[in-house]
Structure 1
Amino acid sequence: MFSKIKELSLNRNWHEILSLYNTLNKSGVKLTEPSLLHPILKACSATSFKHGQSLHASVIKLGVESCTSIGNSIMDFYAKNGHIDSTFNVFSSVKIKDSVSWNIMICGYIDHGCFDEGMCAFTQARGEGFEPNVSTLVLVVQAIRKVRMLREGEKMHGYMVKSGVLTVESVRNAVLCMYADIGMEFARKVFDEMCDRDVVAWSVMVSGYVKSNEPRVGLGIFKEMVLELSSEVDGQTIVSVLKACTDLKDVIMGRMLHGFVLRKGFDCDLFLGNSLVDMYSKCNDPDSALQAWKDMPLKNIVSWNSMLSGLVFNEKHSEALDLFSSMQKAGIEPDAVTLVNILQLCRYFDDPLTCKCIHNVIIRRNHELNELVVNTLIDVYAKCNLIFIAEKLFNSMRIRDTVSWSTMIAAFAHCGLPDEAIGVYHEMIQARVKPNAITILNLIEACSYDTELKRPKSAHGIAIRRGLASEPNVGTAILDMYSRYGNITTSNKAFNQISTKNVISFSAMIAAYGMNGRPRDALCLLTEMEIQGLKPNSVTILSVLSACSHGGLIEDGLSIFLKFIKSKEVKPSLEHYACLVDLLSRSGKLDLAMELIKEQNVGPSAWGALLSGCRMSYNGNEKIREKVVDYVLELEPNKSSGYMLASSMYAAQGLWDDAARIRVLLKDKQVKLVAGYSMVQVNNKCFRFIAGNRSQFLSNELRATIQELHECMKIEKHTGGSRIVL
């Protein structure tokens, strides 16, 4: 009988085992032999939990439940079916508990997420002299890793060293994994002490450093791994290294890895193929991403979504639409991620009709409860200026998390409704939802619409109270907000409060100095940034060049641009060349500026800068002047700025007939004239002065201030007195 049941168990013929058990039970045979009970209980686990409970009841009636081996089999049955309470009850009834009893109980707790109970059972077992086996030790270490208990991990590590089990490869790698999740410095010590390192140990170190935001170190470990275990590198390790390349934007290393994948024959690995597509996309190489995607022998929904997301990320919007069309033709059902990507396209094309169509698809496919999808819908409707639909969607949400509230605040801010945005923030606080850095950033944007500083200061205060003002993103937004109001002193204070200043923070402060007429301070900050080991990016250089241009520091600006070109760390963009044209124009080097425009094909903004230079250069070449005017009006015939600049240039040089001719041309072509304006802050209130509007209301307070300023300026002009600061 035993041999028959054992044979059926080996062949996993569970139904035949149960049939045989029922036959024996009906014939009156009492099964008390543990070696028979265990395969029968396994059959019950696979087919019918009720049969297992019935068998347990029979064992209780026979009075053999307390037998260690029988109790262990029943415990194992309950543990594998997730009935931990029943497992514990059987465990308590077993009179003599052996190592198997403790292993089942501890593993049962940990397997089902009861980490505290599992650790308590392990401690209790150790007190009673229990010697855990390798599988239990690995499981306990994994539990410590999940709950990230460093102190418990160190204790377990010490126990393993004393008991000598660290010589077992699986145990050693489990300890390494634990430390890699808790702290890479501990993992590195264990790794360095290992005499023989297998592919798992190397892979753990590579992925650990990548997850710890140290991708460069992870790449270094991988290179060592290839030298030592070139034939054993697996696909999982390659995935981690591709993530490192993505983080570093190192597409060259990514291509080398792609070649490595092809040589090793890993190109059939679906997960690896998806990772290659993601790497190329995020390294701004969508063509290579598309080729890698096409080369994949098998594709799943993740593959399609990865490629679609990559095209959207790289602003290949038409190509993304074509891919979505191909996806539908291939019969691939779009999921929530697919729909979110397509909604991003609606945002770009500003297409409310398509957005509504996708909304219908979302409802039909029952994705309306997916928070990511609904939040994206709210954002896209707002970008399409359908704020009433966005608000309706938001109000219909059953559960609103921080992202939902932040999205709605951003939606109102984008549509120029600051009062509503601030109102949503107050509702969020009343609902006891904790705002994060993104919430505060959206609130700052909403408050920045105000002409007074009262609300922006309130947003700043909220950021301070929430402990978020020192975060780089929030602190940068605050300093930028104050700089736009001309309050450079407070901008500087906000900058100094940022705990860890990054390139973006420095670039924003440099731009703030340039915008507010302090180019020397901008140059000093650039030097300080480099001293701190931060390399300027393209935005930083653009901010410095703009500061030099508007501050009259022509030579400094040219010197920085040449240094920037020689470094070859960042490729100059059209904006950089436009700024250089502005610098050359302001210094009177119009011929060089025009030569640069033609050589680099810079665009309308550079021609505008050159035209402005012609206005300031009274001895400029008349041929250049006429060419510039023709180019500006030809490139942007429907924009009033070119006409006004040309007219102003002619007027500045006393060519009144030409100035009048341009004005007539502007009128004949019916180009809409956008009036410029200036803002002056007096006693925390901002006043806007629109060019040509003489009928605007001025308060007595403001009239008095302007009169006082006018008198001070006259005194300054005639006496050469010191600079007046309001």
Structure 2
Amino acid sequence: MKRVSPTLHGRTTSEAWKPPQIVSPCCETVISSSKLSNWVSKIKESSFSGRWQDVLSLYNDMNKAGVRLTEPSLFHPILKACSAISLAHGKSLHASVIKLGVESSTSIGNSIMDFYTKAGDVGSTISLFGCMKIRDSVSWNILISGQIDHGDLDQGIRSFIQARATGFEPNVSTLVLVIQTIRTLKALHEEQKIHGYMIKTEFLAISSLQNSLLSMYADTTMEYAQKLFDEMPNRDVITWSVMISGYVKTNKNHLALQIFKEMLSQSGPEPDEQTILSALKACTNLKNLITGRTLHGFIFHKGFHHDTFLGNSLIDMYSKCNDTDSALQSFTEIPLKNIISWNSIISGLVYNEKHSEAIHLFDTMQNAKIDPDAVTLVNLLQICKHFTDPLICKSIHTVIIRRNHELNDLVVNTLVDTYAKCNLIFIAHKLFSLINIHDVVSWSTMIAAFTYCGFPHEAIRVFHEMMIDSQHKPNAITMLNLIEACSYDSDLKLPKSGHGIAIRLGFASDAIVGTSILDMYAKYGDIMTSKKVFEMISNKNVVSYSAMIGAYGMNGVPHSALSLLTEMESHGVKPNSVTILSVLSACSHGGLVHEGLSLFRKLTETLEVKLGVEHYSCLVDLLSRSGNLDLAMKMVEGHEKGGVSAWGALLSGCRFSFNERIAEKVASCVLEMEPNNSNGYMLASNMYAKLGSWEDVARIRGLMRDKEVKSVAGFSMINVNNKSCRFVAGDRNQVLLDEIRDTIKELHEFMKMDH
């Protein structure tokens, strides 16, 4: 039996080159084989050099000479030329193959399949594959790669499974494609099957396939990725980068930095720019300034400081760590700044509320002839929200129109929100109505805009319009905005309606929405309903617990707040700074001095929660309310963290237990620290008024007039003609006065009635 050996592209030795039959179109004179040999060598040479036009020209010359092309090795370069230049020429060649009767050749069929695949005609590839009598591994590789490359991922995997049943052996590139496809589909079962196949066939020893498999696991479950990583004896820079990036994407930034440090400690490959980018992202997410600065030094040491992407990441890292000076320095050190560099530094300044500096930098950007993009304009609108200047908002709007960004959803939604923050709600609504297709973000933004400007019923109307629009359903953010709009009502009618909608839409058990609802009921004093809502939340987190603890404290149930703190810790939820502040506030308003001091001492000793200014101020308030002014005074004087807020809390506490010596000193310190803030003057004035010291009240009021300090009056909110209105002391709003006067008259008449 004759042995047939496989060769490249599935061609066998039985298909070795034979001199083609060369017949003149007018007679049966045979063309010399030397001329034919010359054509063949020129075609192969031109194909090797990528001169595809020369290949087709030579092929046309052969056709004109009447050469019947039967040599399989020539079809592949000619079809490659057709792929690069002319689909029509390729189809014509396919027709010639059929006429010549050589379509049964596996290698020629593979070349034609490859041509159709590269031309994007996967349908023809599949048809040709179905007609082939003999298929080899090349045939299956072309089919599977074509299906995957052109988006039919599921069919590509099915073809791979079908091919495996026939004994197909994939090549490395096809196997990489299959792994990437399974990674995209996130099919864990298929991931484990392909992993097992690679172990059995010893493909796992190939570095590129190991890294592809590692990337696949990193996208689905880092536990499996870590196991594979631990088993890999040879790790290159891609291996380490995949692990670091994987942990960053899954928000396990501590583990990402741990892997990075392990990489540096070993004598293996050096980190490249991509590895350092992932490590910087971990520092940014953790707001780890110390490690971030160390990485910055490492970047300089390795000579990567000219890399623009790394420079942009450094700006972002320093900005998120609230070090704007270092962010600006990193910006100046970037030799080739792109639009992302400018956006990163402007965004960082906005993030740190350095709005004036951000505007100055934008002016510099314009002077450098850098055109702003959508991200730049959104940052400018964020600045505009801070200054609430309608003129600036309108100016940015004109720039948006000139730059053709009015169709950008992010820009338009931000513009609607900015107009609302500038109290131009009617312009905001007009802009919203001009949007052709509203998405859930635009609906939510408009609801929030009406709520912010004091039109809760309009906000609710927009929500109803959104519900009529079947294309977009509300998300958690939409529900939060709706709950806030309902909270504007003076009684519980609208809030209960909002709560009912949240239940019907399945959002009541959501941690974010449920927390907002329980907080709403707490502000209305309905602590029992707050508790019921809290119990309905399925995935309680630290925010939910903190809100419920705050609700107990707000409504005078401090013991329940302390009990919930214990319950929270028993469920493995660690309190944060907001939780502790809520507990201390509950102790302060409930008079639980011993419990508050005990909690504060425990936290100071264990350092479980980082205590800030507000915690010290709350403890001072607790002590001063209970009459421990001397101890409160010692705490304020002994801790730098106290600041003006702690002095203010102590001054407020002097109303409950007056000590002339302490009161005078505290009032003097508060007014000296913030001479232009009305809060200190009002606290001092109220304290003296409660003690009946009217001369001191007049003195404080005189100081306010002399320094031209304006006080911000408190207000109550009531509903007038289905519109929420603020009722401020001394208000001369005639509508409010008439409504209140009529209400008082009705009440007076009712009281005179004989019951």
For Structure 1 versus Structure 2, the TM-score category normalised by the shorter chain is 0.7 to 0.9
Out of 253, 270, 274, which is 2:312 matched to? Answer: 274
Task: Report the Cα offset of residue 89 of structure 1.
Answer: 2.4
- Rounded to whole Å, the distance in 2 between the matches of 1:296 and 1:662 is 54
Aligned twin of 1:429: 467
Out of 260, 283, 289, which is 1:222 matched to? Answer: 260
Cα deviation digits, residues 399-453 of structure 1 (max 9, x gap): 2222121111111111111111111212222212121111111111111111121
Aligned twin of 1:37: 75
Task: Report the Cα offset of residue 589 of structure 1.
Answer: 4.7
In structure 2, list runs of 5 or more residues that go unmatched: 1-38, 719-723, 731-736
Aligned twin of 1:697: 743
- Rounded to whole Å, the distance in 1 between the matches of 2:711 and 2:325 is 41
- Rounded to whole Å, the distance in 2 between the matches of 1:634 and 1:225 is 51
| 1:469 is aligned to 2:508 | yes
Cα deviation digits, residues 287-341 of structure 1 (max 9, x gap): 2222222222332222222222222212121222222222222222222112111
Q: Structure 1 residues 687 and 254 mapped into 2: Cα distance closer, same or farther (>3 Å)?
A: closer
Cα deviation digits, residues 353-381 of structure 1 (max 9, x gap): 22222222222222222211111111111
476-485 vs 7-16, greater mean Cα deviation? 7-16
Task: Report the Cα offset of residue 666 of structure 1.
Answer: 7.7
Aligned twin of 1:609: 649
* Contact 1:142/1:174 (<8 A) preserved: yes
Task: Report the Cα offset of residue 630 of structure 1.
Answer: 8.8
- Between structure 1 and structure 2, the one with the greater Rg is 2
Aligned twin of 1:304: 342
Aligned twin of 1:291: 329
TM-score by length of 1: 0.87
- Rounded to whole Å, the distance in 1 between the matches of 2:75 and 2:676 is 91
Task: Report the Cα offset of residue 704 of structure 1.
Answer: 9.9
Cα deviation digits, residues 460-514 of structure 1 (max 9, x gap): 2222333322332222211211111111122222223333333322222222222
Aligned twin of 1:718: none
* Contact 2:56/2:78 (<8 A) preserved: yes
- Rounded to whole Å, the distance in 2 between the matches of 1:63 and 1:478 is 77
* Contact 1:611/1:625 (<8 A) preserved: no
* Contact 1:591/1:624 (<8 A) preserved: no
- Rounded to whole Å, the distance in 1 between the matches of 2:699 and 2:286 is 55
384-393 vs 30-39, greater mean Cα deviation? 30-39
Aligned twin of 1:579: 618
Out of 514, 520, 531, which is 1:481 matched to? Answer: 520
Task: Report the Cα offset of residue 654 of structure 1.
Answer: 3.8
Q: Structure 1 residues 27 and 354 mapped into 2: Cα distance closer, same or farther (>3 Å)?
A: farther
Cα deviation digits, residues 511-549 of structure 1 (max 9, x gap): 222211122322333344444444443333332332222
Aligned twin of 1:49: 87
SS in 1 for 2:655: helix
Q: Structure 1 residues 25 and 290 mapped into 2: Cα distance closer, same or farther (>3 Å)?
A: farther
* Contact 1:75/1:87 (<8 A) preserved: yes
Percent identity over paired residues: 62
Structure 1 counterpart of 2:462, one-letter code = V
SS in 2 for 1:697: helix
Q: Structure 1 residues 662 and 58 mapped into 2: Cα distance closer, same or farther (>3 Å)?
A: same
Out of 219, 222, 227, which is 1:189 matched to? Answer: 227
Aligned twin of 2:7: none
Task: Report the Cα offset of residue 187 of structure 1.
Answer: 2.3
- Rounded to whole Å, the distance in 1 between the matches of 2:218 and 2:393 is 44
Out of 495, 507, 510, which is 2:549 matched to? Answer: 510
Aligned twin of 1:109: 147
Q: Structure 1 residues 56 and 318 mapped into 2: Cα distance closer, same or farther (>3 Å)?
A: farther
- Rounded to whole Å, the distance in 1 between the matches of 2:714 and 2:284 is 46
Task: Report the Cα offset of residue 43 of structure 1.
Answer: 2.4
| 1:315 is aligned to 2:361 | no
SS in 2 for 1:196: coil
* Contact 1:629/1:646 (<8 A) preserved: no
* Contact 1:608/1:632 (<8 A) preserved: no
104-113 vs 663-672, greater mean Cα deviation? 663-672
Task: Report the Cα offset of residue 37 of structure 1.
Answer: 2.5
Out of 193, 200, 210, which is 1:172 matched to? Answer: 210
* Contact 1:581/1:593 (<8 A) preserved: yes
- Rounded to whole Å, the distance in 1 between the matches of 2:356 and 2:246 is 38
Cα deviation digits, residues 534-591 of structure 1 (max 9, x gap): 4443333332332222222334434444444455566554433433442343244546
- Rounded to whole Å, the distance in 2 between the matches of 1:672 and 1:254 is 44
* Contact 2:624/2:654 (<8 A) preserved: yes
196-205 vs 505-514, greater mean Cα deviation? 196-205
Q: Structure 1 residues 260 and 380 mapped into 2: Cα distance closer, same or farther (>3 Å)?
A: same
Out of 381, 386, 393, which is 2:424 matched to? Answer: 386
| 1:494 is aligned to 2:551 | no
Out of 168, 176, 184, which is 1:146 matched to? Answer: 184
- Rounded to whole Å, the distance in 2 between the matches of 1:417 and 1:678 is 13
Q: Structure 1 residues 703 and 218 mapped into 2: Cα distance closer, same or farther (>3 Å)?
A: farther
Structure 1 counterpart of 2:475, one-letter code = N
| 1:523 is aligned to 2:562 | yes
Q: Structure 1 residues 397 and 676 mapped into 2: Cα distance closer, same or farther (>3 Å)?
A: closer
609-618 vs 341-350, greater mean Cα deviation? 609-618
Structure 2 counterpart of 1:697, one-letter code = T
Q: Structure 1 residues 457 and 305 mapped into 2: Cα distance closer, same or farther (>3 Å)?
A: same
Q: Describe how 1:152-163 pairs up with structure 2 within 5 A.
A: 152-163=190-201
411-420 vs 27-36, greater mean Cα deviation? 27-36
- Rounded to whole Å, the distance in 1 between the matches of 2:354 and 2:726 is 40
* Contact 1:199/1:229 (<8 A) preserved: no
- Rounded to whole Å, the distance in 1 between the matches of 2:222 and 2:709 is 67
Aligned twin of 2:436: 398
Task: Report the Cα offset of residue 226 of structure 1.
Answer: 2.5
646-655 vs 313-322, greater mean Cα deviation? 646-655
Aligned twin of 1:78: 116
Aligned twin of 1:713: none
Q: Structure 1 residues 287 and 33 mapped into 2: Cα distance closer, same or farther (>3 Å)?
A: farther
| 1:209 is aligned to 2:255 | no
- Rounded to whole Å, the distance in 2 between the matches of 1:367 and 1:673 is 39
Q: How many residue pairs align between the two structures? A: 699
* Contact 1:443/1:459 (<8 A) preserved: yes
- Rounded to whole Å, the distance in 1 between the matches of 2:336 and 2:710 is 56
Q: Structure 1 residues 158 and 372 mapped into 2: Cα distance closer, same or farther (>3 Å)?
A: same
* Contact 2:713/2:728 (<8 A) preserved: no
Q: Structure 1 residues 577 and 363 mapped into 2: Cα distance closer, same or farther (>3 Å)?
A: same
Out of 450, 466, 480, which is 1:441 matched to? Answer: 480
TM-score by length of 2: 0.84
Aligned twin of 2:48: 10
* Contact 1:444/1:456 (<8 A) preserved: yes
* Contact 1:451/1:687 (<8 A) preserved: no
Structure 1 counterpart of 2:45, one-letter code = E
* Contact 2:667/2:680 (<8 A) preserved: no
SS in 2 for 1:202: helix
* Contact 1:270/1:298 (<8 A) preserved: yes
Task: Report the Cα offset of residue 633 of structure 1.
Answer: 9.7
337-346 vs 587-596, greater mean Cα deviation? 587-596
689-698 vs 2-11, greater mean Cα deviation? 689-698
Structure 1 counterpart of 2:320, one-letter code = K
Out of 274, 279, 303, which is 1:265 matched to? Answer: 303
Q: Structure 1 residues 350 and 673 mapped into 2: Cα distance closer, same or farther (>3 Å)?
A: closer
- Rounded to whole Å, the distance in 2 between the matches of 1:532 and 1:321 is 47
Out of 367, 370, 385, which is 1:332 matched to? Answer: 370
Q: Structure 1 residues 21 and 355 mapped into 2: Cα distance closer, same or farther (>3 Å)?
A: farther
SS in 2 for 1:240: helix
Q: Structure 1 residues 450 and 100 mapped into 2: Cα distance closer, same or farther (>3 Å)?
A: same
Aligned twin of 1:683: none
SS in 2 for 1:450: coil
| 1:20 is aligned to 2:66 | no
